[in-house]
Amino acid sequence: MIEFRQVSKRFPDGTLAVEDFSLVIPSRKTTVFVGSSGCGKTTILRMINRMIDRTAGSIEIDGEDIVGLDRVKLRRRIGYVMQNSGLLPHRKVVDNVATVPLLNGVPKREAHARALELLDTVGLDRALANRYPSQLSGGQQQRVGVARGLAADPNILLMDEPFGAVDPLVRAELQHELIRLQRELDKTVVFVTHDIDEAFLLGDQVVILQKGGVIVQKGSPTEILTAPANEFVADFIGATKGKRALHIDRRDGRDVVLDSEGRAAGVLVEGSAGTGEEVPT
């Protein structure tokens, strides 16, 4: 579990990017931060592995304040995947994936064998292992980025708009791949996106943020869809404009979750509003 307690971040130039942010991120679930540009998503994410240090409050991982942990070791035990894959262009795919284990002292042969297994895990052909990142498609590069994030077998995986730069079809493929992976790997995933549909698809817990990292609403997708906290959320999730991909409709006396084509994605169990409980239809 990751716990933020009244965390703030003021950058040296005076910008207060995050103010008084408190949140519990449960283990082995996916928590998604969603909000418009500049609201503090990346700053909050990067404070978890101390790429950015908070200026007030505390952040604990499994009850331990991260301020007392070695920054480099902390970073190496937390997976990190970013938008443009962040791969080293002059290193082959296999070496990119093996980077952190090698830094952690894993022998080269072992690190490479593990890297090849990880290519399988993220659905990439091992034949790509000896290519350079520029010889891969955008979607393939993102998969390599995910494999690299998983290489040290971290309990926590931070993902900052990892699918933001790929086309919509590849993006949908990668999203479903992540859902599959998460079922298999059971990590604590913290995911940042601008895209509310992506947030609802991937998140067990969705956190809607406004400027300064202010939490406007948090809850399961069902909780947010059934009871948007205010007009900002209703507008953000498109509830007022009929543009939402996922929405709730009442059919035969039951609340049914429908996708954009009107197909039922689930039924809210009677009396479950507020618990996030859903049953498949």
Residue 101: name the closest of 151, 145, 143 by CA: 151
> From residue 22, how far is each of 19, 32, 56, 158, 238 by CA, in Å?
9, 15, 11, 18, 26
Angle at alpha carbon of residue 2, lines to 215 and 220, rounded to 5°? 50
CA-CA distances (angstroms) from residue 66 to 30, 53, 57, 63, 211? 21, 10, 11, 9, 25
Q: Which residues pair with 152 in a beta bridge?
A: none
d(CA 205, CA 224): 10
Q: Which of 30, 31, 42, 140 binds ligand ATP (CB under 6 A)?
A: 42
- Shorter beta-carbon distance to ligand ATP: residue 18 or 256: 18
49 lines the binding site for ligand ATP (CB under 6 A): no
Which of 38, 103, 135, 240 binds ligand ATP (CB under 6 A)? It is: 38
Residue 209's alpha-carbon distances to 169, 192, 193, 206, 222, in angstroms, are: 27, 11, 11, 10, 17
Interface with ligand ATP, residue 37, by CB under 6 A? yes
Residue 39 near ligand ATP by CB under 6 A: yes
Which region, judged by CB under 6 A, interacts with ligand ATP, from 30-38, 178-186, 254-262, 266-274? 30-38
* Stretch of 7-15, 113-121, 128-136, 169-177 lying at the interface with ligand ATP (CB under 6 A): 7-15
In angstroms, give the least distance from the CB of 179 to ligand ATP: 23
Give the nearest distance from C-beta 43 to ligand ATP in angstroms.
3
β-strands 156-160, 188-193 pairing: parallel
Under rule CB under 6 A, residue 193 binds ligand ATP: no
Residue 53 in the binding site for ligand ATP (CB under 6 A)? no
Q: Which residues from 234-263 bind ligand ATP, rule CB under 6 A?
A: none
Total residue count of the chain as it appears in this document: 281
Binding mask 154-183 for ligand ATP (x = CB under 6 A): ------------------------------
Report the nearest approach of ligand ATP to the CB of residue 19 (Å).
Answer: 11
41 touching ligand ATP, by CB under 6 A: yes
Among 45, 26, 19, 87, which residue's Cα sits nearest to residue 192? 45
Give the separation between CA 83 and CA 72, rounded to whole angstroms. Answer: 22
Residue placing its CB nearer to ligand ATP in the complex, 41 or 114: 41
Residue 139 in the binding site for ligand ATP (CB under 6 A)? no
* Distance in angstroms (rounded) separating the CA atoms of residues 26 and 37: 25
Closest separation in Å from C-beta 6 to ligand ATP: 18
Q: Binding residues for ligand ATP, per CB under 6 A?
A: 11, 13, 15, 17, 35, 37-43, 194
